[in-house]
Amino acid sequence: MLQLIKEGNQALENLRLSGDFPPSWQSMEELESTTDHFISRFLDERYHIAHKIGGGSFLTELLDRALRTADTECMDDGTLPESEKLELVQALDRQNHTMQLYPRYVALLLSLLEKVQRQEGRKFTVLELASGSGGLALALAKEAQKRELPITITGSDIVPKFIDEGNRLAAEKQLPLNFQLLNAFDLPEFPEGSFDLMVMSQSLHHFTPGQLAIIIAQSAKHTKTAFVGIDGYRSILLTGGVPLMACLQGIPSFALDGL
Ligand SMILES: C[S@@+](CC[C@H](N)C(=O)[O-])C[C@H]1O[C@@H](n2cnc3c(N)ncnc32)[C@H](O)[C@@H]1O
């Protein structure tokens, strides 16, 4: 989804003024359907606003409608062998290294954790959801080890092969890190407040709005400090840039990631 900030803010304000937003919910099923319903109302509202403004605003809205896709990404294709999925997340990991993304994400996470440690002086715990190749969890563990910060990091994903590979790398590099097989929107009953931070990086767009709402609601139960979601800013640059990087790496199936 392209961002259209001004039109989006106005659409949100209109939904607030209608008195129906934010809605209440009683169960995770209701949260999921209510969120999907509101996002669809939000997009309709934004369309009308962009239409009224006209010009570049409406053109961008039309472009977004043409490009936006809820198609399943190759990585989530249930029929793709896990070894091929691993190649895809490893290519993404190379891309993240090339673009120097991990140091930026690690700095952000450590700034939050160091605040906790200064205030409470205890060991802290991080759960990363949908961690793919495990590149971020590995980078975070390496930096924390370098700074001698007391930390336990758990990476997780729904693909068993990623978990085996992550645990192999963590053991090889002797890092304070383990990987567990977890479905991000159906987490087990961890004891309340098990984690200081729950993190999801570059995976938010793999979930429907309703699924994301469930993930964030669950994190409130399990997390003491914050849920941190990191993803690409959906712009014309990203729409063109991701497919370009994908083709340069010889993996055109990445192209959907920019849309
Ligand atoms: C684009 S990759 C991002 C991986 C990693 N965070 C990164 O930045 O390289 C999306 C990841 O989401 C995972 N995923 C998709 N659905 C999931 C679910 N229901 N629970 C956990 N992980 C899931 C995929 O297996 C994949 O590893």
pLDDT digits (tens, 9 = 90+) for 150-173: 899 999 999 999 999 999 999 999
pLDDT for residue 117 = 76
Which of 42-46, 114-118, 234-238 holds the top average pLDDT?
42-46
Q: CA angle, 174 as apex, 141 and 119 as ends, to 5°?
A: 35
Strands 151-157 and 195-201: unpaired
| Domain 82-230 -> CATH class | alpha beta
75 in ligand 1 pocket by Cβ < 6 Å?
yes
204 in ligand 1 pocket by Cβ < 6 Å?
no
pLDDT digits (tens, 9 = 90+) for 93-120: 998 999 899 999 999 999 988 887 777 8
Ligand 1: which atom is nearest the Cα of residue 183?
20
Tell me the pLDDT band of 75, cut-offs 50, 70 and 90. Answer: confident
Domain ranges of the chain: 5-67, 82-230
Its ipTM equals 0.99
201 in ligand 1 pocket by Cβ < 6 Å?
yes
Peptide bond into 22 cis (omega under 30): yes
Which residue is closest in CA terms to ligand 1's atom 12? Answer: 130
Ligand 1: which atom is nearest the Cα of residue 201?
6
72 in ligand 1 pocket by Cβ < 6 Å?
no
The first and second tokens of residue 95, run together, are 């891309």
Q: Which residue has the tokens 């990191």?
A: 230
CA distances from 135 to 47, 118, 153, 201 (A): 38, 27, 12, 10
CB 249 within 8 Å of CB 95 = yes
20 phi, psi to nearest 5 deg: -95, -5
Of 230 and 247, the structure prediction assigns the larger pLDDT to 230
